[in-house]
Amino acid sequence: MNAHVENTLFNDRNAALLDHPADADHLKAALRTLGGGVSIITAGEGEARTGATVTSATALSVEPARMLVSLNRSSSTWPVVERYGHLGINIVGADHETLADQFAGRGGLRGPDRYRGGEWTTAVSGAPLLVDAVAAIDCVVEEAIERHSHVIVIGRVVAIRIGTGHSLLYQNGRYHDVAAR
């Protein structure tokens, strides 16, 4: 096949794809298609406790055991993570949809009120951990890299709890129960 024919075929294939400008709205639209595992980030003690629902928690490496989470710098959670130097990463399941909504700030709950309805214990790092989480990973902050609107928090794993069930998935603006598929 000569170069011209190859090129024409390539362009024809591309013409079938929809091109969009590389802006925030289209990036959000692209990312909505990506299913993300839901975790609740917890930090602080007593009345200073707060937290956030995230899909950005993932492993940086397993050896050494390091997690990373991308947190909005303007969220109520980042200053508490920074102050206490710890974070609980609670991987949640379908039973925790209400809690996930609370920690996403839906319903207007803030700080310790977001913990309402859950059973909590204190982890090695001092962070609160959800007793019946699918799994919970307790971290101390190793490094925090502030970039643009967010901060990439690298957590050194200090304790791990493994429960039962499947992680809740968030895709196209709603939760999906993986176990029900």
Among residues 7, 33, 166, which one has the least CA distance to residue 95? 166
Closest distance of CB 72 from ligand FMN, Å: 4
Please report whether residue 42 would count as binding ligand FMN according to CB under 6 A.
no
User: Is residue 72 near ligand FMN by the rule CB under 6 A?
Assistant: yes
Of 80 and 136, which CB lies nearer to ligand FMN in the complex structure?
80
Cα dist. 106→122, 127, 179 in Å?
Answer: 25, 22, 25
| Strand 86-91 versus strand 120-122 pairing type | unpaired
Q: Name the amino acid, one letter, at 20.
A: H
Residue 13 CA to its chain's centroid (Å) = 35
Residues β-bridged to residue 161: 136
Shortest distance (Å) from residue 5 CB to ligand FMN: 46
Q: Residue 104, interface with ligand FMN (CB under 6 A)?
A: yes
Q: Which of 43, 54, 92, 129 binds ligand FMN (CB under 6 A)?
A: 54
Q: How wide is the angle at C-alpha 55 spanned by C-alphas 181 and 144, nearest 5°?
A: 155
Q: Which is nearer to ligand FMN, 41 or 129 (CB)?
A: 41
The residue whose Cβ lies closest to ligand FMN is: 56
Task: Give the footprint of ligand FMN on this chain (CB under 6 A).
Answer: 38, 52-56, 70-72, 75-77, 103-105, 170
